A and B are shown apart, each in its own frame.
Chain A
């Protein structure tokens, strides 16, 4: 009796005391690639010129969970990217492409964090080069796509080329698709909405995305769009990529952009780093309607 009682007490103690494991803390490591196509520390690049940063990151024992890119220019810090991720094996090897701004000196700071919340940072300085290097743009004055229930127009747009693919024709071109659109009611409001293949809820309207091996993520600047910070007239006047780059506010971007009503201008950035503007020429507000846009995008 006493033995069984002691055994039960022991069992209770075992149940009540769990075993905890303490995970080792380690620090991630960032290496900035040098040479070749990559922008070098201390180099001079003219405004509008392309900056290409190569990063090789290891998590230091933990998964890499966060990468932040900040541009510090004339005392102003702009967070160009703040991306969550979970890379537990093999580290992160990536190339980041940006456009040189107008500041005299740009300091670029790259920070990473791992799953233990240990962080590491590196930085480099890019001086202002002479002249201007704002680049050429492609202009597609009319791209027509159908909303989710439209069966007569194609749905999947390549913003680089201005081509729209239908469900059958997109086979083999999945990696070129940047945009689709749908209409829905949100908070009681009618919303023609821009989306992209990588945005998770786009699957609701375009299940086909689920089977694509490459799903591009286009980021739309909803703040600039919601507040009409770029007018259709400004869009029409844009002759190089200056407005395209500078209108894009990286702090208020998403792979989905609501309220893309007729007349709105939406800055965007494609998965391959091209900045652009799209002007909504016409947007229906029914699921079977269509959207017509004009696109200006970096070449």
Chain B
């Protein structure tokens, strides 16, 4: 071999060796939008060949990366995957960071509400909507229920924003002011009260919410009464790594102040094992505004702004034994005082006040083919409403109500073989109300009380007729509801209440109702781009205690207790599908038809009563033989880019009384053919999210169609028409995190300052702007 050749070979070898041994490192951090929370256990993969996972701060380090150009990919379930190209030189360290967007809609996402156990949305033969944390973070919502504003088919009644002392979320063409037909849960535990079926939507600080699952259509075969219209499950956050927290202070329209502290910690380095806690404190107050109509403002010299003050504290703590098995307990305490806009003599005037305490414990296990869940809950609400007004003379009375609900819920799911998924469970709930209207300007005390005890047993089988293609789900639930110890009576009646003397009942009959709630559904997945479902089911609900055992003044007249009201039933058939169209454009369509039998509804009896200031109509919650509801909804989601996501949704419903039974031979009012009240004929929403390095922006535009005002569908003097007019609103939220520590959040609700009114002619707050500053640690 010639020396020159040897030399050349050596040079080539050394050069090649230098190239193949030239190495650097790649470091960085993976965070999730929009606030840049570190994502632990995210996979970071280089050139699709090797990878590492992030630590609890979301940081990663890849060593011995050959010099050259490489593709680095970060991915974690529930977030969009992102890729970056980096160039590594010998001995260098390249830093690359990923801000991942949570997947807006993911048919593969897992929900726990539909089947009382983990299920993929695509496998659930019903319309299920998941609102993830990124979507929540982009919504300009001041309360939890407002986060639902873009879900088609949902009707959110919150006329006064944060000043509303009562709000409700209903769905699918059911009357909008009756929360009792939609089951609301926090972490799987019902929060509808047995008294009125109502939910205190102010109870939970929105900051605590991790995600919300909405199951539309009768869910009674799983959950029993309250779920005949659907179910909403608000799932709260759970700390997943180390110590983290956030302190926030905010200021907004009407001199609104807020402050909150979130602190969470997960002990131990094993993400699937260890003790954790999450502590939350929240305070908000506002001077408010005058809600009353122009007419009332002119008539009443005692009007003041409807102000508000609320605070809450919660502690959630638990221990994870291993992946899929944990025990958890939480406690929520909440107090508010909301003015209703009139002050005569009392320190804060007319107010509502809730003192609410909730305790929940839960054990959950998921092992191979078996999963089980047991929850115990206790919910107590002390409600106080101060009523004072000056008419001929001064009247002052307080409504004092103690509402108690407790129960045990259990469910088991067993995957039998490769085709069956069997579920079963039992529920036991007891609720009571003990209330009194205590008058101070006269001698009267009006009492009402009652108890409702419910138990239920359900069974369900999801049978894969053709694996991955066709699934048949059959479920059946039996419920037993017992109304006990109902009473309505008056002590020392004066002219204020003496007119109720003849409807006193100190010992109402005990009543027991039983009902079967079946469900049958098919889910067909013809391809990875489509799925179709068809379902039929029936829901059941007995009357709430307030309708069974309380008589009293309500808007527009006098409500008569009706302990003889029968339960109502809602049968529903529904078809729908999800389709992935061009690119990632996803369309969801549903259409349904429901028949309400013995539908519980407020009707005018045609009689009147003198409540001390002239005759007023008597209303009663009674059973209507047949109500029919037809509706459809559509939703489009289009992730234009990983950082720009557009959505549009619309719903239409037609709710009509098809058959009406006169209350008695002399009943002059026939409601046959009339529309249900408080149901928007149509809703449309458009939403947009844009996350970029400068700002995260969320925009929601919403249109709500007209709604009928009263049962007779006739002209209402306050509303000045037979329907509440349609209206549209636009909400905006801008947020950014600076230096991974400081968060700035600007929320604008009702950007266009649209004015809309409630049944008393009271006006909404209009444009409402809040600015929040937070420090993340």
Say what secondary structure dominates the interface of chain A: mixed
B390 contacts partner chain A, Cβ-Cβ < 8 Å: yes
Q: Is there an interface contact between B298 and A207, defined as CB atoms closer than 8 Å? A: yes
Q: Nearest A residue to B335 by beta-carbon distance?
A: A18
CB distance from A85 to the nearest CB of B (A): 5
* B 260-304 to A, binary, CB cutoff 8 A, 1 in contact else 0: 000100000000000000010100000000000001001111100
Residue in A closest to B498 when the chains form the complex, CB atoms? A251
The complex places the Cα of A119 from the Cα of B443 at a distance, in Å, of: 9
Chain B proximity of A110: nearest CB distance (Å): 14
- Determine if B714 and A84 form an interchain contact, defined as CB atoms under 8 angstroms apart: no
- Chain A residue contacts of B442, Cβ below 8 A: 66, 68, 82, 84, 113
Residue of B nearest to A114 (CB): B440
**Per-residue contact bits, chain A 232-258, to B (CB 8 Å; 1 contact, 0 not):** 000000000000000000011111101
CB distance from A129 to the nearest CB of B (A): 30
Residues of A within 8 A of B394 (CB): 65, 83-86
Cβ of A185 < 8 Å from any Cβ of B? yes
Complex-state Cα separation, A86 to B263, whole angstroms: 47
A31 CB-CB contact with B under 8 Å: no
Q: B495 is contacted by which of A65, A82, A186 (Cβ under 8 Å)?
A: A82
Q: Which one of A38-46, A216-224, A287-295 is at the B interface?
A: A216-224
Q: Is A282 an interface residue (CB 8 A)?
A: no
For residue B313, which residues in chain A have a CB less than 8 angstroms away from its CB?
Answer: 12, 15-16
Contact B494 A210 (CB under 8 A): no
Q: A84-B393, A199-B392, A254-B614 are in contact. Are A115 and B440 (CB under 8 A)?
A: yes
Residues of A within 8 A of B443 (CB): 66, 68, 113, 119
Q: Is the CB of B281 within 8 A of A15?
A: yes
Residues of A within 8 A of B659 (CB): none
Checking A66, A117, A258 against B614 with a beta-carbon cut-off of 8 angstroms, the contacting residue is: A258
Give chain B nearest CB distance to A69 CB in angstroms: 12
Complex interface: chain A residues within 8 A of B281 (CB)? 11-12, 15
The CA-CA distance from A201 to B390 in the complex, in Å, is 10
Given the known interface contacts A12-B315, A15-B281, A200-B299, the answer about A85 and B717 at a Cβ–Cβ threshold of 8 Å is no
Which of B420-458 touch A at CB < 8 Å? 438, 440-443
Q: Are A8 and B263 touching (Cβ within 8 A)?
A: yes
Is there an interface contact between A16 and B333, defined as CB atoms closer than 8 Å? yes
Q: Does B7 contact A (CB under 8 A)?
A: no
**Residues of B close to A256: CB separation below 8 A:** 613
Nearest chain B CB to A255's CB is how many angstroms away?
A: 5
A residues near B613, Cβ cutoff 8 Å: 254, 256
Set of chain B residues within 8 Å of A199, measured between Cβ atoms: 391-392
Report if A252-B610 is in contact (Cβ < 8 Å); known contacts: A16-B313, A86-B345: yes
User: Given A12-B313, A16-B313, are A200 and B301 neighbors across the interface (CB < 8 Å)?
Assistant: yes
B615 contacts the other chain (CB 8 A): yes
Least distance between A6 CB and chain B CB atoms (Å): 12
Q: Which residues of A contact B392 (CB under 8 A)?
A: 199, 217, 219, 253-255
B299 touches A204 (CB 8 A): yes
Contacts of A119 in B (CB 8 A): 443
Question: Is A21 an interface residue when CB atoms closer than 8 A count as contact?
Answer: no
Residues of chain B within 8 A of A8, CB atoms compared: 263, 279
- Rounded to whole angstroms, the CA-CA distance of A258 and B691 in the bound complex is 61
Closest to B443 in A: A113
Instruction: Tell me the A residues contacting B by CB distance below 8 Å.
Output: 1, 8, 11-12, 15-16, 18, 63, 65-66, 68, 79, 82-86, 88, 113, 115, 117, 119, 185-188, 199-204, 207, 210, 217, 219, 222-223, 226, 251-256, 258
Closest 9 pairs (CB-CB, A-B): A84-B441, A204-B299, A86-B345, A201-B299, A84-B394, A16-B333, A15-B313, A255-B392, A84-B393
Known: A117-B440, A253-B392, A255-B391. 10 other contacts (CB 8 A): A12-B315, A65-B396, A65-B441, A66-B442, A84-B442, A199-B392, A204-B295, A207-B298, A223-B610, A258-B614
